[in-house]
Chains A and B, each alone.
Chain A
């Protein structure tokens, strides 16, 4: 386990920025309430075996007691580095993203299941959508009852969405909570 390099930090922050925008500051400087000490400090990012974890500092202190081979996971895993050095956000970062998301999309109950199986969001399944979405922006997908279902990348801007036919793709799927069952081994 080690803290992130400067280049690695830039890559991770860029990816998160696509989803949360300026709320990134809140994520990085979130005061932590864990730990029995008076001031458990903030949340920080740690790298362990190509995965980036979002942990509070008090937890990191305790995790240093575990050897590298035995350490499986700590805090919340927000993503993985690929072989080539790129970074992908995984579904486990949903709690962090959903709380600070800038662009949100609400799905109708009928198309929830389709999204949870890994399909993209079609215009016919769209309930609500925040405006000023640019194609390529990160979007968090909610159900109508404000339960975060996953996240993806916007394929069209909000204006274009209105002109789209009902089978057009609005949000490209990146991660959904169905992956907890499907890809149990990989997470």
Chain B
């Protein structure tokens, strides 16, 4: 068939897409069915165009059939997610901006004066390691009983804690503006994930109790030897949770035990229902019958008893 209209179609093989920009409905479709029919016919033409281009590509033979490598798609699809929102500046960034502090690039290897060597700035065998200081000179402001090494460690811990606090604070302000970085690990109830609208559900009292119980028993010894927190109530139902039927059926109520036994019984009988027919016995009976039939036929060769002939001395007791 003549495919001159092929040029009019815009075909994007990478996305298996065909588009006819010049299609016009000749008349307003009268009914839904007509519209559907028209769409289907047009659609088939477009699909035919895609198939034609596909088959024109060089193909390799595989077990499932010819395999074609599609070219990269040409149509630009819209973004799935929004553009990243501008983050609010962190506290340090604000301060640096105000003071006019520029960022300086730091080297990885630094010259260490004490050992006259080049050492790395961070990590193993670093430049200003706290553990490497042999002597700390006492100053006039030092108290006599204080350990300066311990003090250094303490200071470092405090600094690290402060930094962590600031980092979390920055994240919170960023989250408020909706610009949380996606790599940040989020706790369930702490911060919502940026881009979604759902607020994390607050756990109710029961749910909290269940979770607390789960957590309490998920130790190696099942939570038996853990110290109880002040105000923690003992766990509710411990051990296996078994629901047994009542010993006697309640008056007027459905007899659940009877139902259960009937159910088990019917299941069991149906499972063994194929054994009603004893196949071996049936085979034996069939074979016996066959044998009898066989021997019955050979009787014809024997002399048949003539019933019309009367017995000579039958009951002649005279």
Contacts and interface: CB of A to CB of B under 8 A. Distances in A.
Contacts of A57: 248
A64 interface: yes
B258 to A, nearest CB: 8
B287 to A, nearest CB: 14
B281 A3 contact: no
B261 A28 contact: yes
A25 B269 contact: yes
B261 A44 contact: yes
Contacts, number: 55
B15 interface: no
Contact of B268 (A5, A13, A61, A132): A13
Q: Is the interface of B mostly helix, strand, loop or mixed?
A: helix
Contact of B260 (A1, A9, A14): A9
Contacts of B212: none
A176 to B, nearest CB: 27
Contacts of B247: 1-3, 46, 60, 64
A46 B248 CA distance: 10
Interface residues of B, number: 22
For chain A, give the interface size range.
20 to 34
Interface string B233-244: 000000000101
Given A57-B248, A60-B247, A132-B278, A13 B257 contact: no
A17 B261 contact: no
A96 B280 CA distance: 29
Contact of A5 (B244, B267, B269): B244
Interface string A17-32: 1000110110010000
A17 B257 contact: no
Interface string B205-246: 000000000000000000000000000000000000010111
Contact of B265 (A2, A5, A24, A42): A24
B281 A132 contact: yes
A66 B269 CA distance: 36
Contacts of B280: 132
A37 interface: no
B81 interface: no
Nearest to B278: A132
B162 interface: no
Interface of B: 242, 244-248, 257-258, 260-265, 267-269, 272, 276, 278, 280-281
Given A10-B264, A13-B264, 16 more contacts: A3-B246, A3-B260, A5-B242, A5-B244, A6-B264, A14-B268, A21-B272, A22-B272, A24-B269, A28-B261, A28-B265, A44-B257, A44-B258, A46-B247, A60-B248, A131-B281
Interface of A: 1-3, 5-6, 9-10, 13-14, 17, 21-22, 24-25, 28, 42, 44-46, 57, 60-61, 64, 131-132
